[in-house]
Structure 1
Amino acid sequence: MSRSFEAINYARFRRYITNSVLEELHAGMRWSEGPVWFADTQTLLFVDIPSSRIHRWVEGQGVSTLREPSNHANGMTRDRQGRLVTCESGTRRVTRTELNGAVTVIADRYQGKRLNSPNDVVVKSDGSIWFTDPDYGILSDYTGDRAESEIGACNVYRWDPSTHELTLACEGLSKPNGLAFSHDEAYLYVADSGRTHDPQGEHAIYRFELDSAGKPGRRSVFFSVEKGVPDGLRVDVDGNVWTSSVSDEGVMCIAPDGELIGRIHVPEPVSNLCFGGPKLNRLFITAGPRLFSIYTGTRGVPVL
């Protein structure tokens, strides 16, 4: 059994453990983030935020630069038409890269005020784009441009593809970070990483119930990270939440009922992750200056 995996609840996690070991795919970055898998081209995109680059990785070909400068690109995803959707900390906006390479601005203001620094993004089955907007990119010049918040709060927003209207989806969060929908889209998971700048700050993943119209309702604590803070997260086909912890806890696997059942040990602080590969069973992990991967016994929920 691979030493990369640690079973917290052996009976529940054993099926997800393989003999695979953690592989290093790339190194030398300042802070890696935002992995997204393109199944049709078998390509992984990920970013180095401080260096303002979007990288491309292909098996057997290594890493190349897709876009530089990237406006301090952070979280990325793919929409239902196969287009890249990107959070840009530097320009404080969410953009979409069209199939012809043109860049369309999805959102850069809410009620006339500039966004803080969009961080992570997901696309629902109805085509709506949901993203978190903490203030990390405006706190310093390292991952964006230092500035005061115009909105005065850190929220989660929803962009409607039919009306192009940006609405407030979730509020009352300290520093909303990674987010993901449950497999059946009955819930929205949002990581709050407020403890990064306040020892007494938030360090939990919240679960919002979605009503029949897809609007977030009741909020509850799904899981509280003990040592670090939750950042990027993904959901597998069994409903488990796989999350980073930006600490020495590596990648954590949390069952649908909120129990921590297993862990993957990673030698760097993990910022984000995504499932990919031909079978969607390969977990790609951005961790500080390095990019890793490991094969698991589950599959990620397909984006497209």
Structure 2
Amino acid sequence: MKIIRYSDRLDELLVPGTTAQKLVSGFGFAEGPAWCPHTDRLYFTDFMNYRIYTWSEAHGVQVFREPSGRAVGLALDAEGRLLSCETEPRRISRTEKDGTVTPLITHYQGMRINNTNDVIVKKDGSVYFTDPYSTALGAPRDLPFNGVYRYEPWSGTLSVIADDFNRPNGLAFSPDESLLYVDDTNEQNVRVYEVASDGSLHSGRLFAQLDTSAGPGAADGMKVDERGNVYVTGPGGIWILAPSGETLGRMELPEVAANLCFGTPPASPLGSTLFITASSSLYSVKLRVRGAI
């Protein structure tokens, strides 16, 4: 791994001499990592091969579900149940404690949602997700826009909170959940919004424009650490941005990075581990900071 420093403040986040460890390889297209603190294991997907995997220090990599509905993004709710963006059936599902898979979100105002991509869960239990349409699915689209949505599991209410993206993808909250970051794959940028008390968004603005000359890749997965720094996969690797939008640094991996998440496996008591799904492989990088809780 090559580290490109734009600011000395990057040294506050990365362990000196750190490098990326390849944990496992051989996937068609690794995506959607999500750490489960209840079981000390990582969930991630192989989009091309219709599988969801788990990885842990104790058991290594194991198949969790096959077929997966061609799942991409994953998240866990407060009860530790897995939420999965399934592109083939065009839905978000929830895996119950007994292993039953429940279709959670499938339609908006009677129309089939486009192609759920990434999903996160707010502390109050509400679910936020991106829904860009993909011509690769070969299915006609019902909704004319590529939206960002908010879903209330307790009421079943599904709301569009942004509908002016080209191709919305990754999303992440600031540590206090007062801000929501959303990136756009086609525009290669990150926007930030203020989150109102009812969960809606306002005062959106451009947060960062990624440099496409840095290398292969596109704005995709995104997470925030406990200090509010934003980590986004994009051209040339993983961009690390301060809360002000200043670029602190970039991590270049041997493969194109698609998504990432923070985890705290038993062997990382002092900081945390950044898990990265990159093309055919799963990587880990030790950090000095933890992910936003």
TM-score normalised by the shorter chain: which range applies? over 0.9
Give SS of 2:18's match: coil
Specify which structure has the higher proportion of strand. 2
Q: Taking structure 1 as the reference length, what is the TM-score of the superposition?
A: 0.90
Structure 2 residue 202 is the aligned partner of structure 1 residue 217: yes
Task: Give the CA deviation at 1:5.
Answer: 3.0
Deviates more, 1:95-104 or 1:174-183: 95-104
Matches within 5 A, 1:42-61: 42-61=40-59
Once the two structures are superposed, residues 132-153 of structure 1 have per-residue CA deviations (whole angstroms, 9 ceiling, x without a partner) of 00013xx22xxxx311211011
| Matched letter for residue 157 of structure 2 | E
Matches within 5 A, 1:1-304: 4-10=2-8, 12-18=9-15, 19-136=17-134, 139-140=135-136, 145-194=137-186, 202-227=187-212, 228-245=217-234, 247=235, 249-278=236-265, 279=269, 281-302=272-293
Give SS of 1:26's match: strand
Give SS of 1:13's match: helix
Give SS of 2:164's match: strand
Runs of 5+ unmatched residues, structure 2: none
**Equivalent-residue separation in structure 2 for 1:111 and 1:39 (angstroms):** 35
**Equivalent-residue separation in structure 1 for 2:205 and 2:60 (angstroms):** 41
| Matched letter for residue 81 of structure 1 | E
Instruction: Report runs of 4+ in structure 1 exceeding 6 Å deviation.
Output: none
Once the two structures are superposed, residues 216-244 of structure 1 have per-residue CA deviations (whole angstroms, 9 ceiling, x without a partner) of 01110011111143100000000000110
Give SS of 2:11's match: helix
CA contact (8 A) 2:262 2:272 kept: yes
**Equivalent-residue separation in structure 1 for 2:2 and 2:97 (angstroms):** 38
Aligned residues, how many? 284
* C-alpha RMSD of the superposition: 1.3
Give SS of 1:264's match: strand
Q: Taking structure 2 as the reference length, what is the TM-score of the superposition?
A: 0.94
Task: Give the CA deviation at 1:262.
Answer: 1.2
Task: Give the CA deviation at 1:60.
Answer: 4.5
**Equivalent-residue separation in structure 1 for 2:5 and 2:98 (angstroms):** 45
Give SS of 1:189's match: strand
Once the two structures are superposed, residues 180-200 of structure 1 have per-residue CA deviations (whole angstroms, 9 ceiling, x without a partner) of 111111111101112xxxxxx
**Equivalent-residue separation in structure 2 for 1:7 and 1:124 (angstroms):** 32
Task: Give the CA deviation at 1:6.
Answer: 2.8
CA contact (8 A) 2:150 2:199 kept: no
Task: Give the CA deviation at 1:252.
Answer: 1.1
**Equivalent-residue separation in structure 2 for 1:233 and 1:298 (angstroms):** 16
CA contact (8 A) 1:36 1:78 kept: yes
